[in-house]
Amino acid sequence: MIRRGLLLILSSPSGAGKSTLSRRLMAWDRTMRFSISATTRAPRPGEEDGREYYFRSREQFESMVKSSEMLEHAEVFGNLYGSPRAPVQAAMEAGTDTVFDIDWQGGQQIKQAMRDDVVSVFILPPSIAELDRRLRSRGQDSDDVIAGRMAKSRDEISHWAEYDYVLVNEDLDQTFDQLIAILTAERLRRERQPQLSAFVRALNKEFEAR
């Protein structure tokens, strides 16, 4: 029997390092699965169904919500986005962990649906000045867009206390090591190792055979 896969939820304000960290995580352990969202928005040039998103019609999407096939979903600027349940469930049973790069609302819905299988991590910036600097260093957004991001960041940060673990991303390498430690530890939790029951039964047989 194999280990039960877990769901790792990463949330943070934009610019706190979440995307970089989840990319490094996927490179560090290539058995992990990155959760791909479904959306009703049209594919952009170069986007592929099942790679960037699962592209679905509004009818398909709404019928999936109705039959509880979405772990979480939300409407953003007139488009629906959500996390399909089936691939997550299949991964868990195969002993594969799934990573969600998701905001607090999505994280909360997944937590409600999947309870003890969820490990949630919130990443805080070392300061707002630093968050601002990181957003601007991308060099492609207007002041208005950045102001909007900062307002959203403040809202996101206000939910930090709903997470299992909280990291302050001062140094990316250190924060990554902390994230790896959390993943390593959570995989070693007793309830995530159902294979141990058979292992201990084998130890007992060894005792009896002495």
Give the distance from CA 24 to its chain's centroid. 13
Gap between the Cα atoms of 35 and 19, Å rounded: 13
Max Cα distance, the chain (Å): 75
Using CB under 8 A as the binding rule, whether residue 21 contacts a copy of itself is answered as no
Q: Which of 5, 7, 1, 22 is nearest to 123 (CA)?
A: 22
Q: Which of 30, 44, 115, 210 binds a copy of itself (CB under 8 A)?
A: 210
Residue 189's φ and ψ, nearest 5 degrees, are -60, 140
Q: Is the Cβ of residue 62 or residue 132 nearer to a copy of itself in the bound state? A: 132
Gap between the Cα atoms of 159 and 109, Å rounded: 14
Distance in Å, CB of 108 to a copy of itself, minimum: 15
Q: Which 99-138 residues touch a copy of itself, going by CB under 8 A?
A: 122, 124-125, 127-129
Output DSSP code: residue 190.
G
Gap between the Cα atoms of 45 and 153, Å rounded: 29
Distance in Å, CB of 181 to a copy of itself, minimum: 4
Using CB under 8 A as the binding rule, whether residue 167 contacts a copy of itself is answered as yes
Say if strands 70-76 and 54-55 run parallel, antiparallel, or are unpaired.
unpaired
Distance in Å, CB of 86 to a copy of itself, minimum: 30
Using CB under 8 A as the binding rule, whether residue 180 contacts a copy of itself is answered as yes
Q: Which of 82, 189, 194, 198 binds a copy of itself (CB under 8 A)?
A: 189
Using CB under 8 A as the binding rule, whether residue 42 contacts a copy of itself is answered as no
| Cβ–Cβ < 8 Å for 108, 164 | no
Using CB under 8 A as the binding rule, whether residue 181 contacts a copy of itself is answered as yes
Q: Which SS3 state, helix, strand or coil, does residue 84 take?
A: strand
Using CB under 8 A as the binding rule, whether residue 145 contacts a copy of itself is answered as no
Say if strands 79-84 and 38-39 run parallel, antiparallel, or are unpaired.
antiparallel
Using CB under 8 A as the binding rule, whether residue 196 contacts a copy of itself is answered as yes
Q: Which SS3 state, helix, strand or coil, does residue 119 take?
A: strand
Using CB under 8 A as the binding rule, whether residue 76 contacts a copy of itself is answered as no
Distance in Å, CB of 119 to a copy of itself, minimum: 9
Judged by the rule CB under 8 A, the positions of this chain that interact with a copy of itself are 122, 124-125, 127-129, 150, 154, 157, 160-161, 163-168, 177-178, 180-182, 184-186, 188-190, 193, 196-197, 199-200, 203-204, 206-207, 210
